[in-house]
Structure 1
């Protein structure tokens, strides 16, 4: 099932080779709405974890789902990065500019017989969330069809640095999953795996709401012959109704006028020692020096009142 040599053209191979370091983390927001306090927690934790390990930290805008891009979100993300004085150790990339790379990987998977076209609609599938492989052996043309990755019947496990051992048998829990939608949109799972590899990411720090995506990404990475990554899934900040802070739940946008105060609150939510109120860059330096992963609250949610 695995590629001996990852499917990369010469220019893309150079991109990968230039990015290889011992530790590289990333912050990869989607511009489907403005950044909120939960986003800030992820940015702070991923930054401090990387820098405390002497590593690099990069920013990527995950915007392949172009119809869902919220107007002004990308500009808000960049303004927030500036206001909180985060500095990416590599140029910020936008996934919507890299669709040809993802398409090339899909074509390579096709030549290896690891993907197939699927004509099933949501209406046809009904309420069953486990795909039964209806189109797997139909040899449908790829034009204007969803593209699914073949899954083997085997457990996939990883040891999350915060959440502990996590396992899933994708065949039984999910079935063959989509890498490219019928409307031509590249699925998150494909873009994130390819870009983590090409950007030399070694450690992924993100919210626990993405925990169940990890086995899919591990499986796809194995199919492509990519190296294993380390994962740390952070507990989610909750609002006063017990719902996670999210764009879907209309979480308030970060107020960049109060960046130092919000930065201090994010560190407090992460269980870290307090820092002196100062310029955000100075506060981040102090936070990195004091960073202790073991102090991050256990579980998948952070109790408290967050805006």
Structure 2
């Protein structure tokens, strides 16, 4: 075992689809090829978006693909005390403030918040909480894609860390949990590429370690839209997981040889770990899938 610690962190808003299988497989292969740990986190802090039974279904699907994880599953719904502590610390340091600006106002500004509520001393009723973003990160090194530079206005925006509806924002929860679990590298789909700068900004503000980041290519429909639960991507793994795994490996540049195509999942994974290299993974391109 090495000091490498990776993770897969799905939200239980529906069953896994091919795109989420690619993200899980890519992060699993990266961890196992480094002889490291692969942790599983259920990002279940947004009840309105969650589907009953989806968390258990995700675990069963990963098991069908032989994507085994280390240790116990971490559930964000059981981590509110940790998020409370991080938010309280930011407020005590003067690094967070209440904001009651409606979305309509921000949309009229072009979609980037202008810090309007900084210094207004609102009492917190019907308010979101924003980070005082004095040192916004605008670029980072991606393990697959190289130097990533984002829009400065986006990078420097005072973004929301606690929502108006009382729920914790994804950005706060993810950085607190990555630090808690000791994650050394985050491997995920490149739909989350831009949000990395906000996570690194928040990690700096909280004094948390900053892991490495590596973003995998996305699976998209023929119309260019990514596979997602919102776009009604079909569930995967209910039948023929061996075929789906072979396709996911091929998507990541690891096409199994003829004698392993559709072999049992553990057999395919053993082969894949033995020959996995980042140089085989497609860079900066999306692979189109037919909706059929």
| TM-score under structure 2 length normalisation | 0.93
Structure 2 equivalent of residue 167 of structure 1: 149
Structure 2 equivalent of residue 147 of structure 1: 129
In structure 2, relative to structure 1, the CA distance for the partners of 1:147 and 1:106 (3 Å cut) is: same
Asked if the contact 2:96–2:130 (Cα under 8 Å) also holds between the matched residues in 1, the reply is yes
Cα RMSD (Å):
1.8
Alignment of 1:13-28 (within 5 A): 22-28=3-9
Alignment of 1:1-307 (within 5 A): 22-127=3-108, 128-152=110-134, 155-168=137-150, 170-171=152-153, 175-274=157-256, 276=260, 277-305=262-290
Alpha-carbon offset, residue 241 of structure 1? 2.6
1:25-65 CA-partner distances (Å, limit 9, x unpaired): 11111111211000000111100011101111011111111
Asked if the contact 1:170–1:215 (Cα under 8 Å) also holds between the matched residues in 2, the reply is no
Asked if the contact 2:136–2:155 (Cα under 8 Å) also holds between the matched residues in 1, the reply is no
CA–CA separation in structure 1 for the residues paired with 2:136 and 2:149 = 10
CA–CA separation in structure 1 for the residues paired with 2:143 and 2:222 = 28
Alpha-carbon offset, residue 249 of structure 1? 1.1
Asked if the contact 1:235–1:302 (Cα under 8 Å) also holds between the matched residues in 2, the reply is yes
Alpha-carbon offset, residue 78 of structure 1? 1.3
In structure 2, relative to structure 1, the CA distance for the partners of 1:222 and 1:306 (3 Å cut) is: farther
Alpha-carbon offset, residue 261 of structure 1? 0.9
1:78-135 CA-partner distances (Å, limit 9, x unpaired): 1101211221112001111111210111001111110001111213333431100010
Alpha-carbon offset, residue 154 of structure 1? 5.2
SS at match of 2:150: strand
In structure 2, relative to structure 1, the CA distance for the partners of 1:242 and 1:123 (3 Å cut) is: closer
1:261-300 CA-partner distances (Å, limit 9, x unpaired): 1111100011114151333223212211111111111214
| TM-score under structure 1 length normalisation | 0.88
| Unmatched segments (≥5 aa) in structure 2 | none
SS at match of 2:58: helix
CA–CA separation in structure 2 for the residues paired with 1:131 and 1:77 = 36
CA–CA separation in structure 1 for the residues paired with 2:166 and 2:127 = 8
Q: How many residues align?
A: 287
